[in-house]
Amino acid sequence: MKISYKKILITVLWIIALSGLMACLAFVGKKETKILSKQLEINVNNTGENLFIDEDDIKLFFEDRNNVLVNTELKTININALEKALNSHPAIENADLSVSVNGDLKIDVLQRTPLVRVINMNGESYYIDTQSKLMPLNEKYTARVLVVNGAIHEPYVRRNMYTVKEIAKNEIFSEVSKLDDIYNMAEYIVNDSVLAPLIQQLSINSENEFEMYPAIGNHKIIFGDAKNIEEKFDKLKLFYKQGLNKTDNWNKYSIVNLKYSNQVVCTKK
């Protein structure tokens, strides 16, 4: 049998090359596992004027958890677990953590945006945010938002794990809940350029009807239930435009009632 020294040589060279490649990969892998996190970059996206959380708050959050994020081997940092923990913060809507190839950690945070402040019958206060989630008050900052009080019995603790929309669909909660109506009313007011600066406070009376107190004029607006929201507010804006177009008319009435279909019923002082 004739031996092919050429084939043997080629085979040996391939073995040497593969061995060298594996050694290099092992060296690189070993080196990468010892890469230290060099610096921490934190970006907080604040969509409004409210500032519930900043860079120092996030650093303190991790310090309280004993998470060391700088000068630590990257292999010991569980990015997914840290991201999940940060997303549980009551002031954060969404948080993303990433790491660059050279070991820099980056945290991008989107702050929650409160829509309306709820004050229940027991004096407990909390927010509903723009995502229809319940949000606790913040010791650091009080948001300048629409306020609603009155006949509201719902506590924060037994509702905060649900969104308002989920509460409205819950067979038990929906029977007594006013939070979905509050959310719908507040969302409409805040997103209307005329109503937003005009309506500052809502209240729910003993008959479960909404009442409002405008920033201009010394009168009360009886809105009724939270049905036909657009139609009622259109009536109110038309009344303000046509019925109160004179300066002295703003203090002429004590009550403006929107409950009745196709009409605005006013009570003079």
Tell me how long the chain is.
269
pLDDT digit of tens for each residue in the chain (269 aa)?
A: 455 556 666 665 667 766 665 655 544 444 445 777 778 889 998 766 678 888 999 999 988 988 888 887 878 888 899 899 999 998 999 999 988 877 788 999 999 999 999 999 999 999 999 999 999 998 878 888 999 999 999 999 878 888 998 888 887 777 778 999 999 999 999 999 999 999 989 999 999 999 998 887 778 999 999 999 999 999 998 888 876 665 566 677 788 899 888 888 877 87
DSSP assignment of 17-49 equals HHHHHHHHHHHHHHHHTTPBP--EEEEEE--SS
Can you tell me which residue has the tokens 């939270």? 226
pTM for the whole structure: 0.78
Report whether 229 contacts 190 (CB < 8 A).
no
Domains in the chain, start-ordered, CATH in brackets? 40-111 (3.10.20.310), 114-268 (3.40.50.11690)
Report CA torsion sign: 190, 196, 200, 202.
Answer: negative
